[in-house]
Amino acid sequence: MTTNDADSTPLMRQYREIKEAYRDAILFFRVGDFYEMFYQDAEEASRLLNIALTSRDKHSANPVPLCGVPYHAATAYIAKLLKAGRTIALCDQVEDPKSAKGLVRREVVRLYTPGTLVDAELVPPDETAYLAALIASDAAAPALPSTFGLAAIDLSTGDFRLSSFEGEQALLQLQGELSRLEPRELLVPDAADGALLEPSNLARGCRICAVGHEAFDLAAAESALHKQFPASELERLTKLDSSAGLRAAGAILSYLRNTQRHGDLRHIRAVIIHQHGDDMPLDPMTIRNLELVRPLASDRQEETGNRHTLLSVIDRTVTVMGKRLLREWVLRPSLRIDRITERLDAVQELLQHLETRVDLRSALRGMQDVTRLTGRLALARATPRDLSVLKQSLAVLPALRPLLGRCRSTLLVRLYAEWDDAADLHDLLDGLLLPEVPLSSRDGGIVKDGYDPTVDALRGAMRDGKQWLLELEGRERTRTGIDSLKVRYNQVFGYYIEVTKPNLSRVPPDYIRKQTLVNAERFMTAELKELEERITGADVKLKALEAELFDRLVERLAAQVARLQSIGARLALVDVLAGLAEVAALHRYVRPEVDDGETIEIIEGRHPVVERLDLEGGFIPNDTRLDRETHRLLIITGPNMAGKSTYLRQVALIVLLAQIGSFVPASRTRIGLVDRVFTRVGASDNLAAGQSTFMVEMSETAHILRHATSRSLILLDEIGRGTSTYDGLSLAWSIAEYIQSAPHLGARTLFATHYHEMTQLEGLRPGIRNYRVAVQERDGDVLFLRKIVEGGADRSYGIHVAKLAGLPAAILTRAQEVLHQLEQGGQSSDRLQNPEPSERDRSLPAPHPILSEMKQMDLFSMTPLEAMNRLADLKRRLDQE
């Protein structure tokens, strides 16, 4: 930034001084009714916002680039810049231009970053907006893994979380937590390991912000935590979490104090420490494959409006607080049977008592986002309308208490005992606020008549002022004889007397000319000047007093932050429980039996998402039994498109629903507690990492085999399809054997495959059972019954699926001929009869001699190692040819 004549003015010198402290941000610099941007900021903003780029003092040899946006519409432009990954420093006028002596004083009043947003216009109400900090502590020895410390806060609600991960699964657990939090901004030390920051290790759309390593200093972190929390909370944190977690928490608090200079952080009053063993640690792969909160093809489906996910189909909440809590439950199924049972008891009671459920949900519909309103109170960003909305929400609380008093389940009884009507806070708000209030506290029109005597007196002067002006106008008309004379007002000239051109000859000599127009002239008199000072003085004083009374009210309410946060948490819990009961009533869900056994038994289970689609013939329910003895690993065969993948996902989703405390889509269910759900379903390339479909498939499978336990649930769909038939079959066979027999595994597993040869495993290994998708053949066509029955399939029906997909008849006929010849041995002397004499005869190429040798191999009597060695020998011989 170079200086020249165009930027040597006091205003531009002030701009440069402020910009120096915010070099990495786009500075919104308030000038009159606009926020203006200069130099590189202007050039970048004009491009990103698609607004005109102009210049300051165009006649200068080096004009300063300039663009601007109206101050009243700034939020929309800020949102666009944030989406583009920019930081915005909002520089406002902090004194009244009318009373300022010389240059109006300006300073940055807000720094907008993706992870520090609290504005309703910038944060969707049903989404979280986490700022996270991550640090990796070096291991004590090179062979040992690092310890990761992760802290995260949603500034809009004060939700502060702390986690530490160490051991062999540390990186996996970290990835899972980031997937659940989906932070918008991640703080890391400026010398962080680049491998840790690989996109695959981080949440989608997360902005990385490198900060000085000193921000993660342990002593500084403990000091920051000590300032924020009472000694008892700091002692709890020190006992429960590692130094890495504390350092991450300290970095977040330091960042917030630097960016939120004009707000209090009093709503950050406690830290949630995630204890390993309380919640099921879902990994990113499972969250994605089961479409828990986001559809797989999210971009396309968002455009078409098709957003079916587990969360979307069970979300019957009526408040945004409930929506956020339900999302939290879906991503953190519980591992504590007592907690699951309490939730199920509450859902069952509300399901059985229709009147109570309807009354609760009806009352909750009038509830706004108390939690985020509380956050804006603490940060001194609450507007008069925020407080008006809070008042309306608090008015609903007394109606909810007697409804909870009808309930007898443990969780609802506890909520009733802890219920707070907050009548005193409602009365405080109702006593001051007018029914209709403005958006800004500077605009006046906030305080009720009768609340403050001075406000009443000034308001009376304003009302009298209007009468004084009318009386003055009447007297001047009589005195001058000008019937069209009018007393008017505008913001530039204040009050004035307007006289049309034909009547100027009658203007008295004591009239002082202020402005000449095309058809009229404007004047001032001594009496009008005196009235103006009295009226505008009262107006200025009234607005200033109302703003002061409003600020006092905000301060009194901010002192009740902890209480308001507790109220918001209770409302969210009631909403989620009532919503889950509503889902159970609408869609015939039943209560699952959840215990610490090893059996998963589902009778007439249904896929909660797929059954909501408009399927021809309706959804076909299926049974499932998994245990550690006779039904440890189920091999599921059947044609493509017959419903194998749906069945696999259905079982997993029913388990997850049960462990969040929801009823499930089935007629009867027993769930032996599952510690992890692992999925390898679907096929995808990771081109950015140079990985093929098969490589991704094998990497994900290896991840499952390393981390699953005997209490896990594993879903494997079409393992080995990304490579040649024999390679794929060998791998699928070996993986099934490993899961069934490895000492640390023996997990309950659903293994869907198109290799019907794998059905032979049932007779070779205990605990492996065959199931297939029933198919009905009729006149050469097949009908997929979508029913899972015992037994293995001996055909894949690939040509029939191709027919259903609409391939031309000629291709299908030829494929059937080739298939027949292959099934007969594929001898070179065989010729295929051409169905069309006009076309030239075709035949299969002569098979390679090694093929004949391979046909003699008894593959399924070999061990996996023998099969792989034989395959390596055949490949070596082929390479030598």
Contact yes or no for 773/644 (Cβ under 8 A): yes
| Token pair for 434 | 């007018």
Q: Which helix (H) or strand (E) holds 678?
A: strand 677-680
Beta bridge partners of 153: 131, 160
Q: Is 502 helix (H, G, I), strand (E, B) or coil?
A: helix
Q: Helix 561-587 to helix 370-378 angle, to the nearest 10 degrees?
A: 160
Question: Is 180 contained in some domain?
Answer: yes
CA-CA distances (angstroms) from residue 227 to 150, 217, 245, 253, 374?
20, 16, 17, 10, 21
CATH number for the domain spanning 266: value is 3.30.420.110
3-state DSSP helix/strand/coil % of the chain, to nearest 5: 45, 20, 35
Neighbours of 732 (CB within 10 A): 24
Q: Is 643 annotated for ligand binding? A: yes
Q: Which amino acid is at 420?
A: D
Contact yes or no for 170/163 (Cβ under 8 A): no
Question: Is 96 contained in some domain?
Answer: yes
- On whether both 459 and 539 belong to a single domain, the answer is yes
Q: Is 640 annotated for ligand binding? A: yes
- Residue 269's closest CA among 418, 158, 405, 394? 158
CA-CA distances (angstroms) from residue 605 to 48, 347, 608, 643?
50, 20, 9, 13
Q: Which amino acid is at 16?
A: R
Residue keyed to tokens 């519909």: 365
| Token pair for 463 | 């009302």
pLDDT at position 800 is 55
pLDDT at position 692 is 61
User: Domain range for residue 693?
Assistant: 593-807
φ, ψ for residue 52 (rounded to 5)? -65, 140
Contact yes or no for 468/461 (Cβ under 8 A): no
Cα gap 538→872, rounded to integer Å = 95
Contact yes or no for 310/292 (Cβ under 8 A): yes
| Token pair for 827 | 């001898």
- On whether both 157 and 73 belong to a single domain, the answer is no
Q: Is the dihedral of CA 141, 142, 143, 145 positive or negative?
A: positive
- On whether both 682 and 775 belong to a single domain, the answer is yes
Contact yes or no for 70/34 (Cβ under 8 A): yes
Beta bridge partners of 191: none
Residue keyed to tokens 């500075």: 27
Residue keyed to tokens 């901004």: 185
The 3-class SS string of 135-166 reads: EEECCCCCCCCCEEEEEEEECCCCEEEEEEEC
Cα gap 687→108, rounded to integer Å = 44
CATH number for the domain spanning 768: value is 3.40.50.300
Contact yes or no for 346/389 (Cβ under 8 A): no
Q: Is 644 annotated for ligand binding? A: yes
Q: How would you label 420-440 residue by residue, b for 16+ Cβ within 10 Å and e otherwise?
A: ebbeebbebbeebbeeebeee
pLDDT at position 830 is 42
Biggest CA–CA distance in the chain, Å, is: 125
Question: Is 244 contained in some domain?
Answer: yes
Contact yes or no for 717/637 (Cβ under 8 A): no
Q: Is 794 helix (H, G, I), strand (E, B) or coil?
A: coil
One-character DSSP codes across 847-868: PPHHHHHHHT--GGGS-HHHHH
For the chain, what is the domain count? 6
- On whether both 492 and 607 belong to a single domain, the answer is no
pLDDT at position 303 is 34
Alpha-helical runs (H) found in 742-797: 761-764
Q: Helix 798-805 to helix 809-823 angle, to the nearest 10 degrees?
A: 180
Task: Give the rounded distance of the alpha carbon of 44 from its chain centre.
Answer: 28
Cα gap 200→629, rounded to integer Å = 37
pLDDT < 50 regions, the chain = 140-144, 298-306, 685-690, 826-845
Q: Which helix (H) or strand (E) holds 324?
A: helix 320-331
The 3-class SS string of 297-313 reads: CHHHHHHHCCCCCHHHH
pLDDT at position 770 is 94
Q: Is 642 annotated for ligand binding? A: yes
Cα gap 487→508, rounded to integer Å = 15
- On whether both 549 and 566 belong to a single domain, the answer is no
Start-to-end CA span in the chain (Å): 70
pLDDT at position 863 is 63
- On whether both 90 and 237 belong to a single domain, the answer is no
Beta bridge partners of 56: 64
CA-CA distances (angstroms) from residue 670 to 341, 400, 597?
13, 34, 9
- On whether both 782 and 643 belong to a single domain, the answer is yes
Q: Is 263 annotated for ligand binding? A: no
Contact yes or no for 441/547 (Cβ under 8 A): yes
Question: Is 291 contained in some domain?
Answer: no
CATH number for the domain spanning 400: value is 1.10.1420.10
- On whether both 796 and 853 belong to a single domain, the answer is no
Cα gap 312→309, rounded to integer Å = 5
Question: Is 67 contained in some domain?
Answer: yes
Q: Is 638 annotated for ligand binding? A: yes
pLDDT at position 4 is 53
- On whether both 652 and 688 belong to a single domain, the answer is yes
Residues in the chain: 881
Sort 406 into a burial class: Cβ within 10 Å, 0-12 / 13-18 / 19+.
middle
Cα gap 869→742, rounded to integer Å = 22
CA-CA distances (angstroms) from residue 300 to 90, 208, 305, 306?
35, 26, 9, 8
> pLDDT per residue over 300-338, tens digit each?
343 333 468 999 999 999 999 999 999 999 999 999 999
- On whether both 626 and 678 belong to a single domain, the answer is yes
pLDDT at position 607 is 95
CATH number for the domain spanning 44: value is 3.40.1170.10
Q: Which amino acid is at 653?
A: L
The secondary structure of residue 749, as a DSSP letter, is E
Residue keyed to tokens 């059972």: 769
Q: What is the chain's alpha carbon radius of gyration, rounded to the nearest angstrom?
A: 36
Question: Is 843 contained in some domain?
Answer: no
- On whether both 767 and 629 belong to a single domain, the answer is yes
Cα gap 38→27, rounded to integer Å = 8
- On whether both 568 and 466 belong to a single domain, the answer is no
| Token pair for 662 | 């929801």
Question: Is 160 contained in some domain?
Answer: yes
Question: Is 288 contained in some domain?
Answer: no
